[in-house]
Chain A
């Protein structure tokens, strides 16, 4: 019996490693271990008033801050039956696209592209791909700036509150932003081309169970219904889509479908399921790439690149609409707390994020459950690794090659392991 350990995987968010257990030459087990300490967020918001919930919960992550914020905001609004104005809705969507741009470009240029181009790190690419690297920095900054204008800060957008925003961006700021976004579209299209010309490892996901939220009219990352393959569920019934149980070798819970199959969420899942909602340019990229629907998790990075094009297009549309409507100085909606339970879900860059919060009659949190996209993806990762390691062993690859390939596979999912560490079971 021997074990192959990858050690802590570099170039992902959070701490995780892959352990491969072998008996002789036969594969016994593959463990995707999240070694991040428990975060206790679900417990530490117990007893806090409703207006602090988004503030606390968005600190779960420093990359998808806007997504956690909006998921929590939507959960609180869902609980207290608040309807926000059209302007707030548009601004929230803009904030969301900012977060998608920032996170996707970070992953594409600095975490995954070095794997595809064969470099040990993004900085090592500087000599051979200086333009690409510079483009990466520029595009990521744009994502941050969209969040800064709408949310008030590049991370942890404090302006976004339950019922609306504390202050609104000026039309001038939005117009400036739009100018930069239009320029960035060309960069984003170049990025798609760059990724299309690379070769991926051929991996096939034989289950092909994908899930995402059903969007409204546009490709907007919000939704009140969940798509699981062909089936549709209300967000409040998320427990039927995803079944979680704690496992011994990881601080992330294992999420499966009801019949125990792994689910994949994220860019690839979204493109496979709701590609017909993509804006025109992104749809063209999607069709021209000729790779979709794809069952290869390695193509997640291509899906992300196409999504950034879609987000940039939507940003332009939203800003145009906001400017034609004119920014109205709206007050936040007054909240009347009551005893209830709220569900909020958004499509974070890495997949569907669920916040489920129960309040008592004074508006204090009674119970909370959060399911993050990476927590859903870890089981899928594990199963794909199990399959691939078996193939690699039959091809008699050495340990170093197996280790390297495992890391590449894990990285392709763009995991955010620190978010995924939620091991507490909440009983109401």
Chain B
């Protein structure tokens, strides 16, 4: 061991000596810094897939920051790594969202699935509120909102596979509305950009979610009367 020259790197403002053979993720694990992973498994052969992209870390500082997968990035001298910045958090949250969108969600409410690392990850990153739009195959011109239909896709819990929009029928929110402020804000923006009467959206929301908090919040953000 002593024959290999160690390199000096900086992880979260902490100076560390590392083997040049090592990857950033290994060093972090050794130091007890938590980086979420799904595809990484030490029991698997050396070649790491790097496909879940959850172990993204920020490399460099100031304006020259770029993001790399920690499991595939080799250690080199003078490397400056940040593992937990607000940007990284939102990046990882986006990744979890994308993964969830392609995930069968049948196990979601199952009590036995308590030890699923992915479900835990979703809870950690507060991602349980994807909307029907994430599953809907209609894009651009085909989108029912572009055709002037008042679709509740941007506000409704996903998991159904968007059967109604696929059949040309607007979503009327039968799975319930997502109570997340971000989602409501982005939905209001979507409706405004498509030129849809927000009052009519509220009317439609009342069909399955009469007097829900989401409607109150939506009215507050959109500035319409209930």
CB distance from B137 to the nearest CB of A (A): 13
Q: Tell me if A152 and B207 are in contact (CB < 8 A).
A: no
Q: Across the interface, do B164 and A158 meet the contact criterion of CB distance under 8 Å? A: yes
Let me know if B163 and A153 touch, CB within 8 A: yes
Which A residues are in CB contact (< 8 Å) with B203?
49
A55 contacts B164, C-beta separation under 8 Å? no
Bound-state CA distance A393–B152 (Å) is 60
Interface of B is mostly: loop
Residues from chain B with a CB closer than 8 A to the CB of A49 are 203
Nearest A residue to B172, CB-CB: A55
A55–B164 Cα distance when bound, in Å, is 12
A153 partner residues in chain B, CB cutoff 8 A: 163
Q: Which residues in A have their C-beta under 8 angstroms from that of B163?
A: 152-153, 158
Judge whether A158 and B207 touch: CB under 8 Å: no
| Pairwise interchain contact A166-B207, C-beta atoms closer than 8 A | no
A48: chain B residues within 8 A (beta carbon):
207
A166-B172 in contact (CB<8A): no
The proximity string for B residues 188-204 relative to A, scoring 1 for CB distances below 8 Å and 0 otherwise, is 00000000000000010
Residue numbers in A under 8 Å from B167 (CB-CB): 152, 158-159, 166-167
B175 within 8 A of A: no
- CB-nearest residue of chain B relative to A168? B168
A166 to B168, CA, bound (A): 5
Q: Does residue A52 face the partner (Cβ distance < 8 Å to B)? A: yes
Q: Say whether A56 contacts B207, CB under 8 Å.
A: yes
- CA of A56 to CA of B164, assembled, Å: 15
**Cα distance A153–B171 when bound, in Å?**
14
Among A22-64, those with CB < 8 Å from B are 48-49, 52, 55-56
CB-defined contacts of B168 to chain A, threshold 8 Å = 159, 166-167
Is there contact, CB below 8 Å, between B172 and A152?
no
Interface size class of B (residues with CB under 8 A): under 10
Query: What is the CB-to-nearest-CB distance from B6 to chain A, in angstroms, rounded to a whole number?
Result: 63
CB distance from A290 to the nearest CB of B (A): 46
- A-contacting residues, B152-175, CB 8 Å: 163-164, 167-169, 172
Q: Which residue of B lies closest to A160 (CB)?
A: B169
For residues 171 through 226 of chain B, which have their beta carbon under 8 Å from a beta carbon of chain A?
A: 172, 203, 207
Query: In the assembled complex, how far is the CB of residue B107 from the closest CB belonging to chain A, in whole angstroms?
Result: 22
- The chain A residue with its CB closest to the CB of B167 is A152
Q: How far is the CA of A55 from the CA of B163 in the complex (A)?
A: 15
Please, how many angstroms separate the alpha-carbon atoms of A205 and B138 in the complex?
56
Question: Which chain B residues lie closer than 8 Å to A152 at the CB level?
Answer: 163-164, 167, 169
Assembly CA distance A152 to B172 (angstroms): 15
8 Å CB contacts to B: which residues of A132-188?
Answer: 152-153, 158-159, 161, 166-167
Residues of chain B within 8 A of A52, CB atoms compared:
207
Say how far A402's CB is from chain B's closest CB, in angstroms.
43
In the assembly, what is the distance between CA of A48 and CA of B204, in Å? 10
Collect the chain A residues with CB atoms within 8 Å of residue B169's CB.
152, 158-159, 161, 166-167
A294 to B181, CA, bound (A): 63
- B45 nearest CB across to chain A (Å): 45
Q: Of B163, B164, B167, which is in contact with the most chain A CB atoms at under 10 Å from its CB?
A: B167
Q: Which residue of A lies closest to B170 (CB)?
A: A166
Q: How far is the CA of A75 from the CA of B168 in the complex (A)?
A: 23
A166 contact set on B, CB distance < 8 A: 167-169
CA–CA, A159 and B203, complex, Å: 21
Tell me the complex Cα distance, A66–B172, Å. 18
Interface residues of B in 110-167 (CB under 8 A from A): 163-164, 167
Least Cβ distance of B143 to chain A in Å?
Answer: 15
Interface residues of A in 218-244 (CB under 8 A from B): none
Q: Which residue of A lies closest to B164 (CB)?
A: A158
Closest CB of chain B to A333's CB: distance in Å? 15
Least distance between B68 CB and chain A CB atoms (Å): 45
List, in ascending order, chain A residues with CB within 8 A of B172's CB.
55
One digit per residue, 1 when the CB lies within 8 angstroms of any chain A CB and 0 when it does not, for chain B 57-80 equals: 000000000000000000000000
Interface centre among A49, A55, A56, A166 (most CB of B within 10 A): A166
Bound complex: CA A158 to CA B171 (Å): 10
CB distance from B36 to the nearest CB of A (A): 37
Min CB distance, A61 to chain B, in Å?
A: 16
Return the chain A residue nearest B204 by Cβ: A52
A147 to B146, CA, bound (A): 29
Give the docked Cα–Cα distance between A52 and B174 (Å).
13
Cα(A53)–Cα(B172), bound, Å: 13
- A167–B142 CA distance with the chains assembled, in angstroms: 13
B163, B168, B203: residue with the most chain A Cβ atoms closer than 10 Å: B168
Bound Cα distance A166, B163 (Å) = 12
- Nearest residue (CB) in B for A159 is B167
List A contacts of B207 (CB < 8 A).
Answer: 48, 52, 55-56
What distance in Å separates the Cβ of A50 from its nearest Cβ neighbour in chain B? 13
Closest-CB distance, A147 to chain B (whole angstroms): 12
Complex CA gap A113/B77 in Å reads: 79
Across chains A and B, which 8 residue pairs bring their CB atoms closest together, nearest first? A167-B168, A166-B168, A152-B167, A166-B169, A158-B169, A167-B167, A159-B167, A158-B164
9 further A-B pairs in the complex, CB-CB below 8 A; given A52-B207, A152-B163 = A49-B203, A55-B207, A56-B207, A158-B163, A158-B167, A159-B169, A166-B167, A166-B169, A167-B168
- Partner-A contacts on B (CB < 8 A): 163-164, 167-169, 172, 203, 207
List 7 A–B pairs whose Cβ atoms lie within 8 Å, in order of A's numbering. A49-B203, A52-B207, A56-B207, A158-B164, A158-B169, A159-B168, A159-B169
